[in-house]
Structures are given as structure tokens and as C-alpha cells.
Amino acid sequence: MVILMLIAAIFWVFYTDTIAPHAQKLQIEKDQKLQEQKKTMEENPIKDGIHVATGFAEGEGLEMVIATCTACHSAKLVTQNRATRESWEQMIRWMQKTQNLWDLGEQEEIILDYLAKYYAPENTGRRKLLTDIEWYELEEED
């Protein structure tokens, strides 16, 4: 019985001295991380539909694209390109073959949807399509 109590006491001392503070420290670190993440989101606002820090268009899949497509190079390499879904897929395959890009798994669909939607071939990039054009009537001369 005494021995049992002794073991319990030793364990209790061990617990309060090492495990408990450690768990507390982990919790504090976790809180700090969350705080930092919140801060970066606040410091990285979206303005006029553009994620300011990266220049990516706001839309479904944005966070995944930021996490995946800015790991090796700047976002600009992506945002300055326009391509069809097939071409975006080919670019991903090319990076996988030659640049050590990992298998994107289920995320690939979401990323491709995003790229095909917001970085489609022209009309959306350099200038908006002209609308409300007043055409001249060309009169035929005989």
C-alpha cells in the first residue's frame, strides 16, 4: 500500500513537473499560431476581388491555389498566364515531370477549376471586351 502511494506520488510529481507544463506550452504555441494566421489574413486582405498579397483573383479554390502554387515560385508566374483548362493541366504535368511538383490528388480538380475560370485565355486579362460599340453604317457606293 505504501509503495502504491509512493508510486502515485512520484507519478503526480512527474506529471505536474513535466507533462502538464508541456501540454500547456503546446496549447500556448497553438494559440499563437492561430493568432498569427488570423493576423496574416487581416494583413492580406482582398481588395476589389484581388488577394492583395499574391495578386490572385478571389474565388473558390483561392486558398488552395495560394498554398500550392506559391510554394516554389511567385504567384505572378501563374497570374500572368492565361490558358485553357487542358493547357493548365499540361503545365501541371510538366511541373510534375520536370520540377518535382507533387501529385495534387483531389485538389487538382479544384485548382484546375479555379485556373480555368479566372485565368482563361484572354478577354479577361489585358482589357475588357468592348461593349456598346457604335458601328458606322457603311454605305455602298455604286
CB atoms closer than 10 angstroms to residue 16:
10
Does position 54 bind ligand HEC by CB under 6 A? no
Nearer to ligand HEC, 46 or 70 (CB): 70
* Cβ atoms of 102 and 92 closer than 8 Å: no
Q: What is the DSSP string of 34-56?
A: HHHHHHHHHHS-EETTEETTT-P
End-to-end CA distance of the chain: 121
The least distance separating ligand HEC from the CB of residue 71, rounded to whole angstroms, comes to 4
Does position 64 bind ligand HEC by CB under 6 A? no
Total binding residues for ligand HEC by CB under 6 A? Answer: 16
What's the rounded Cα separation, in Å, for the pair 125 and 115? 13
Name the amino acid, one letter, at 9. A
Which listed residue (2, 3, 5, 71) binds ligand HEC by CB under 6 A? 71
* Cβ atoms of 113 and 64 closer than 8 Å: no
Does position 67 bind ligand HEC by CB under 6 A? no
Does position 91 bind ligand HEC by CB under 6 A? yes
Does position 81 bind ligand HEC by CB under 6 A? yes
Does position 66 bind ligand HEC by CB under 6 A? no
Count helices and strands (H / E) in the chain. 6, 2
Q: Which stretch binds ligand HEC (CB under 6 A): 22-30, 46-54, 94-102, 134-142?
A: 94-102
Task: Using CB under 6 A, list all residues that contact ligand HEC.
Answer: 68-69, 71-73, 77-78, 81, 91-92, 95, 99-101, 111, 115
